[in-house]
Amino acid sequence: MHHFVRASNELLRKQGYRLTPQRHMILSVIQEANEHLSVDQISERVQQRNPYVSLSTIYRTLELLRKLGLIRESHLPGEQPHYEAAQGHSHHHLICRRCRHTIHLDETLLGNLREQLQEEYHFHNLTLDLVAAGYCSSCWQELQQEVLASEGIAEPPEAEGQEG
């Protein structure tokens, strides 16, 4: 049993829940993924292992695991929620608006903002998730070329009048 699943089992038991085979499968699928997974992706991977696990069981289990802080639910702009193993109290993403490339940012990026918010506003067990959206270099260049093409400009303005 992986460390994440073992630690999750301990927390489930402390909270009065059992690590059922379905919960074990869902935790394993999320832990083994090297990416954020949608419900559809989780369902597909779980049902490859056991086709009798229903979608409603998956939804209920995800809600329980999220409530207990074992998994993190990310709401990336324009997409359905995605899930991943919860690690630490902060989790930040930089997302390209066009190709959806996602970069995980260092959780220390915002310094001690989490602690400041807890202290000033008296919130407890606070998680801090930042989603910043923009355009990666490739998509930005493509967008600029599309704009120029739509305006009927063959070359960027800075290239005009630069004859050798």
Annotated binding site for Zn(2+): 96, 99, 136, 139
Instruction: For Cα atoms 129, 130, 133, give the angle at the middle one, nearest 5 degrees.
Output: 145
The DSSP secondary-structure symbol of 157 reads G
CB 74 within 8 A of CB 131: yes
CA 64 vs. chain centroid, Å, equals: 18
CB 64 within 8 A of CB 20: no
* CA dihedral angle for residue 7, residue 9, residue 15, residue 19, rounded to 10 degrees: 160
- Residue stretches of the annotated binding site: 96, 99, 136, 139
